[in-house]
Structure 1
Amino acid sequence: MDKLHVISLLLLISASVTTSQPVTDPIAFLRCLDRQPADTASPNSAVAFIPTNSTFTAVLRRRIPNLRFDKPTTPKPISVVAAATWTHIQAALGCARELSLQVRIRSGGHDFEGLSYISTVPFFVLDMFSFKSVDVNLTERTASVDSGATIGELYYRIAQKSNVLGFPAGLSSTLGVGGHFSGGGYGNMMRKYGLSVDNVVGSGIVDSNGNIFTDRVSMGEDRFWAIRGGGAASFGVVLGYKIQLVPVPAKVTVFKVRKTTREGAVDLIMKWQSFAHSTDRNLFVRLTLTLVNGTKPGEKMVLATFTGMYLGGSDKLLSLMNRGFPELKLKKTDCTEMRWIDSVLYWADYPIGTPSSVLLNATVDKKLFMKRKSDYVKRPISRAGLGLILKKLVEVEKVEMNWNPYGGRMGEIPSSRTPFPHRAGNLFNIEYLIDWSEAGENVERKYLALANEMYRFMTPYVSSNPREAYLNYRDLDIGSSISSTYQEGKIYGVKYFKNNFERLVDVKTTIDAENFWKNEQSIPVRR
């Protein structure tokens, strides 16, 4: 063998071995992509955007709704790979190995801590935006939906085919299916049908070696179990889900009643705590607590908003409310009957009469700085405790709360059926929201401190040992992994998954012993 051939062989061998140090040169990444197997019609590098591309910033920002992670100082990827084929995904993963790069997988971008598109180590974003097909099968009453589709797109495609089928998922239409489903996915039909993952019957996934599993049989039941609520980014690239559609009536009824503390909101909140989780499972009534101006200059008070949806007509709803929650004094004029697809728009705060085609808009129209936290309540909060909570909300000003009732189907599904463990025994879930529009590090620190202050104040009223949290309201304050150890992961893992955490670790250790799939709150391996 001549000297030239020896050198060529050595170069080929070195290119196939993972480097010990991450490569941070975007051009080297593009070259790596072009060395991978490719579809003749679509070169791998053609879907990779690097910082020197004029469209890089637009592609990166198109699914970043949280301005906290859209600043000049935010760590940027060496590339955004807008994969359009399975081969593109395989090529990107091959280069992740070869160049020692971390992969961040993005579907909708609604991860509240930005973990789907930022990292503190060299990384690229695998953007699933182009994987957005929705195929509805009326005969089976199922749909196959790609992970890059939004739930708004899913809802719209279902309604195109049927007026009496729907799916239980979230209320924000721009949520990506991939992330939303993999964390559990709840919405206003959960008391009737459970979570999104409770209605997932199949899936496809790509592992770290580029192997593609197109159904639950080929991927194995343990992996299929893990990606339905355990955070799929810890286990691979989910291509999509097959879901079981659920029946909805031709007309549902929605309503919204607002009362301030001066108008008797305290009594209504106390009654809501006993009513909302125990009433007919066709009824979902969310309680939102926000701050409004009082009648005196500078006065602030809490406004309680009761937003409900009943899977049926207004007459039956009024009968149900008059028996179980007469204190709310719900009237016929408060109620609006509409198609289920129109109720999706109602809950997303679109004006009544807005065409449902607006759900096809996958872009967040109004971006804000934001923080989310979560809690679970297992026993009613006393009147005295409620009074203190409402007083504290006035003190912290910007923090709002959504109280989402459980009961019904949520109390019947075993906590081990999926990784999502928050089932029987919960009266309601709390989502803490704080949004702001002013930029600046000092402003951000101030508002994050207010969110944490309210969260600490709620300690006596919520679950404990562990203090439970919902994965889709991602919160790094409850624990974060620096060294990707089991000990670090357990701190946040038991809060998100309770007893299911250990099984998730076992699955992870079996299928990804090298811990290729990792982020600040991923499932660790057992070492």
Structure 2
Amino acid sequence: MKEVLCILFIVILSVSDAKVTKQNIENFLKCLRCRTSPEYPITEAIYSPHNSTFVSSYVSYTKNKRYLNPNDKNLIAIVAAKHESHVQATVVCAKSNGIQIRIRSGGHDLEGLSYISSLPFVILDMHNLRSITIDVSTKKAWVQAGAILGELYTKIAEASKTLAFPAGVCPTVGAGGHISGGGYGNLIRKYGISVDHVVDAQLVDVNGKILNRASMGEDLFWAIRGGGGASFGVILSWKINLVEVPEILTVFKVNKTLQQGATNVLYKWQIVSSKLPQGLFLRAMPDITNGEKSGDKTIAVKFFAQFLGSAKTLMEIMKKNLPELGLKREDCYEMSWLNTTMFWANYPMGTSTSVLLDRPSDPPGAFYKGKSDYVKKPIPKKGMKKIWKTMLKFNNVWMQWNPYGGVMDQIPANATAFPHRKGNLFKIQYFALWIDANATDANLRLMKKLYHVAEPYVSSNPREAFLNYRDVDVGSNPSGETSVEEAEIYGSKYFLGNLKRLMDVKAKYDPENFFRYEQSIPPVLAM
């Protein structure tokens, strides 16, 4: 039966992937204008390659220079939607003319999948849909998909000194994609991830209808919380629960080089970081730094912490659990939750929090590549030394070792579509950055080497990966095809045991697979 479904699936794809002609493109643009009302005209939201502002609109939310291509002949237009009806029109008109869409909220997609395709496509840019409403009395908020985290954090802090939201530390990340992929942040050990606090959503489905939790049903609502919204529709907004934090939190940053015993401290960190009090998040970040001699390089591990409490209490916890770090009282800074978001974004002390509202519009200045892993038992010191040796071959690479434990050990793997819960000590993000385009191939090779060196020490069968740290190396399909077998490869890594349910939901709500991209979920009914 499954084989029959797959054959039917391939037939459906062959029909929907018919060649896009010039007439299709013209019809698409005409359709856009016809389907929006005079009250909310779409004309000013459409940027085509013939517009003088097309390039600036394209580069504003293109973060990775590896995928910067404003002359892409497959890019028909950018629709920077200014009203919900613009999103509806784009979906309906693209579907009826056989044109793919790519949905971009903040543009932080590590592989550029939200703004590239090898087939004719349109970018549906959500950055204008960015309203945020806070209700302190119910501790809830609505946030539109195009709002960035810095805007959300600022709005929350303006409304309350003791409310927060568990999400990422980069202030320019868009809420739409970040939350739909899970939403990992420094409140994870106390409050879990972003999707654990989503209580409603608005989504434009494949028929152009706006659905909320009640009208979409619990299956689809489950899927978009961690399964990636772009496989199922266009997220318009999220309704979220806010969480309680103290008026004063404590942060610190302490560096240890290899010569200062970083490997020993980090080994101990692996044992204790997931068992610390839930209010303490202690990240370890191995990085390349200058050695003691001129021209030498070494590894420094930066330990970043955030504690929901006072510096005095934090010092007591660290002295008891990780005295090897040598934390001193002068390393600790007490501040409001909003100011901790500045600390994590590496702004200098004293910088105005108004920078959290900045949306950089300049072209991307760097090329980068990211990968991810989950670790379930401590990496031995000999393994860490192999990792350091490989890292030192780069010019600029770092890793984030992000602790688990706390409430993540208590939330079932199938509570949302995000499955990476109990049993993890920490999650790794690998990140290489370079400026020279000629260095791209060398850096990509080194990243594969680093990933290979780490393989014996991380999760296996499958080797797990985090959807928000997009990585096409773990499997991908071409823009115009969706092999179920290939989707099961990357899908099993991103979603583990939740993949079958996700494919079933996809088959129910988007059976013709309109919402697809290189790592989307295929519509296959569960057997």
Paired position in structure 2 for 1:416 = 414
Higher mean Cα deviation, 63-72 or 171-180?
Answer: 63-72
Distance, in Å, in 2 between the alignment partners of 1:384 and 1:449 is 23
1:44–1:91 Cα contact (<8 Å) kept: no
Q: How does 1:66-77 map to 2 (within 5 A)?
A: 66-71=64-69, 74=72, 76-77=74-75
Question: Do structure 1's residue 249 and structure 2's residue 246 form an aligned pair?
Answer: yes
Q: Please list, as runs of the form range in 1=range in 2, the aligned pairs for 1:221-300 lying within 5 A after superposition.
A: 221-300=218-297
In structure 2, which of residues 427, 431, 434 is the aligned counterpart of residue 433 of structure 1? Answer: 431
* Pairing partner for 1:341 from 338, 355, 359: 338
Q: CA separation in 2, counterparts of 1:148 and 1:27?
A: 28
Q: Distance in 1 between matches of 2:48 and 2:256?
A: 51
Task: In structure 2, give the amino acid aligned to 1:30.
Answer: L
| Displacement of 1:360 | 1.1
Identity of counterpart residues, as a percentage? 47
**1:185 matched to which residue of 2?**
183
CA distance in 2, matches of 1:138, 1:83: 29
Matches within 5 A, 1:44-443: 44-71=42-69, 74=72, 76-213=74-211, 215-363=212-360, 367-440=365-438, 443=439
**Which residue type is aligned with residue 35 of structure 1?**
C
Q: 3-state SS of the aligned residue for 1:513?
A: coil
Q: 1:478 to 1:18 in 2, by over 3 A?
A: closer
Distance 1:100 1:395 in 2: 46
**In the aligned structure 1, how far is the partner of 2:84 from the partner of 2:166?**
28
Aligned pair count reads 507
Q: Residue 411 of structure 2 contacts residue 421 of structure 2 at CA under 8 Å; is this kept in 1? A: yes
Could you say which residue in structure 1 is the equivalent of 2:475?
479
User: Which SS does the other structure have where 1:201 is aligned?
Assistant: strand
State the alpha-carbon separation in 2 of the partners of residues 319 and 19 from structure 1: 62
Q: Give me the whole-angstrom Cα distance separating, in 2, the residues matched to 1:75 and 1:243.
A: 39
Measured after TM superposition, the shift of residue 20 of structure 1 is 4.3
Per-residue Cα deviation, 1:53-79 (whole angstroms, up to 9, x for no partner) = 000111111111111111466565210
Distance 1:187 1:24, change over 3 A: farther
Contact 2:290 2:298 in 1 (8 A): yes
Cα separation, 2, equivalents of 1:311 and 1:74: 47
SS in structure 2 of the partner of residue 139 of structure 1: coil
Distance 2:394 2:54 in 1: 39
Per-residue deviation, 1:131: 0.7
CA apart distance, 1:98: 2.4
In the superposition, the TM-score normalised over structure 2's length comes to: 0.93
1:503 aligns with 2:501: yes
Report what 2:5 is aligned to: none
CA contact (8 A) 2:59 2:361 kept: no
- The question of whether the paired residues in 2 share the 8 Å contact of 1:396 and 1:454 is answered with no
- Distance in 1, matches of 2:238 and 2:158, equals 19
Deviation, 1:383, is 1.9
C-alpha RMSD of matched pairs (Å):
1.6
- Runs (4 or more) in structure 1 with deviation over 2 Å come to 17-21, 23-30, 41-46, 71-76, 296-299, 362-367, 395-399
Q: CA–CA distance in 1 between the matches of 2:432 and 2:285? A: 13
3-state SS of 2:265 partner: helix
Residues 165 and 263 of structure 1: CA distance in aligned 2, closer, same or farther (over 3 Å): same
Q: Give the match for residue 3 of structure 1.
A: none
- Any unmatched runs of 5+ in structure 2? 1-14
CA deviation after TM superposition for structure 1 residue 327, in Å: 1.0
Deviations 1:326-346 (A, max 9, x none): 111111100000000000011
* Aligned-partner Cα distance in 2 for 1:403–1:73: 38
Farther off after superposition, 72-81 or 403-412:
72-81
Gaps of 5+ in 1: 1-16
Q: Secondary structure at the match of 1:350?
A: coil
| Residue aligning to 1:463 | 459
Structure 2 CA distance for partners of 1:116 and 1:19, relative to 1, 3 Å: closer
Contact kept in structure 2, 1:75 and 1:118, CA below 8 Å: no
Query: What secondary structure, in the 3-state scheme, does the structure 2 residue paired with 1:94 have?
Result: helix
Structure 2 equivalent of residue 521 of structure 1: 519
Q: Which amino acid aligns with 2:455?
A: T
Any conservation in 2 of the 1:80–1:124 contact (CA below 8 Å)?
yes
Contact 1:273 1:380 in 2 (8 A): yes
Paired residue secondary structure (1:419)? coil
How far the C-alpha of 1:418 sits from its partner, in A, is 0.9
